[in-house]
Amino acid sequence: MPAEWEPHLATYIVWPHNLDTWPGNFDPIPGVFARMAAAIASSEPLRVIVKDAEEIERVRAMIRDAAEDDRVAARVELIHLETNDSWVRDHGPIFVNRIDDRAEGPPQIALDWKFNSWGEKYGAFDLDDVVPRRLGARYGFEVIQPGIVLEGGSIDPNGAGSLLTTESCLLNRNRNPHLSRAEIEDYLKTFLGVVNVLWLGDGIAGDDTDGHVDDLARFVSRDTVVTVVENDPADVNYKVLKDNLARLRAMRDERGAPLRIETLPMPAPLMYEGARLPASYANFYIANGAIVMPTFDCPADSAAAATLGRLFPGRRVIGVPSRELVWGLGSIHCLTQQHPAPNPVDRS
């Protein structure tokens, strides 16, 4: 599985339509999606999945207005496909490339893991579960089914053999209760081409995915991980993030070398109807020429942007206001899925 910073053919997003995902505050969400779409399309093609065919032209106009540039709008393709919800990171295809050009078969395969709505927490998920196969039929890529439940937000690879994940999610009995830790590692190694699985502990407060790693820590280069930290000992996330930081500092990459660790702050706590929301700057998306980062209208926004700008000097950091977005219990990375370029790249 290529790292996210490797070249993309395109990015997929699913235009919002499920009112229950943002209860009582859906109205601002399409506008936020339009800004996110424009930010991604500023540097690469964007494929927008729209549930209602009659909405396509309205969606196109919203993205064009947000982009304010016809060249950006021209990179956007709108697709009619029925879905249950917008979290394409978790139900969309996960692509892997063949490293050996002499091997038989296509240079790239899309993995269609089972999707069960994060342990059957919400309503119907039948339409989301078949999105990879329907996209494969449309775009002509091969799709295979590993046969177990896995969400894209629960894994983060460095493209060279190491992968970050969490015990709280992958070992949760609401996903694959018949599999042991070792058996889950075998699936990751077999289907994603990794040799080194790095386990963090728990996720942040409010994360209904049982602790996806894309709210915690992300590879930003082959040997470097950026992770969120909480400096307030009274905050509910303080001990969890301190433990994950300690684990990262003890970890080694696929070559046996220590990881380089960078840190991001946590935003000020966000609440909705008395519940903590899973706001995190780790939920950024790496596009070909940009880092699309959630912002939360607090002082830590600028510090997070500065850190990501330093870690990705060849990419422009674009902030997308996400206070309303995270009411749906997810943010930018959760709502995107990359389609990497199919050709193997030099990983040296």
User: Is the CB of residue 67 less than 8 Å from the CB of residue 41?
Assistant: yes
Q: What is the pLDDT of residues 183-236, one digit of tens each?
A: 999 999 999 999 999 999 999 999 999 999 999 999 999 999 999 999 999 999
Q: Which of 220, 261, 256, 268 is nearest to 242 (CA)?
A: 261
Average pLDDT over residues 93-107: 83
* 8-340: CATH superfamily: L-arginine/glycine Amidinotransferase; Chain A (3.75.10.10)
CA distance 282 to 304: 9
Task: Answer whether 0.85 is exceeded by the pTM.
Answer: yes
pLDDT given for residue 99 in this prediction? 78
The residue extents of the domains of the chain are 8-340
User: Is the CB of residue 149 less than 8 Å from the CB of residue 117?
Assistant: no
pLDDT given for residue 306 in this prediction? 98
DSSP for 264-319? EEPPPP-EETTEE----TT--EE-SSEEEEEE-SSTHHHHHHHHHHHH-TTSEEEE
User: Which residues are catalytically annotated?
Assistant: 334
CA distance 104 to 123: 41
Residue 129 C-alpha from the chain's centroid: 17
Q: What is the pLDDT of residues 286-344, one digit of tens each?
A: 999 999 999 999 999 999 999 999 999 999 999 999 999 999 999 999 999 999 998 75
Q: What is the pLDDT of residues 62-77, one digit of tens each?
A: 999 999 999 999 999 9
CA 314 vs CA 140, 219, 249, 285, 337: distances in Å: 32, 16, 27, 14, 21
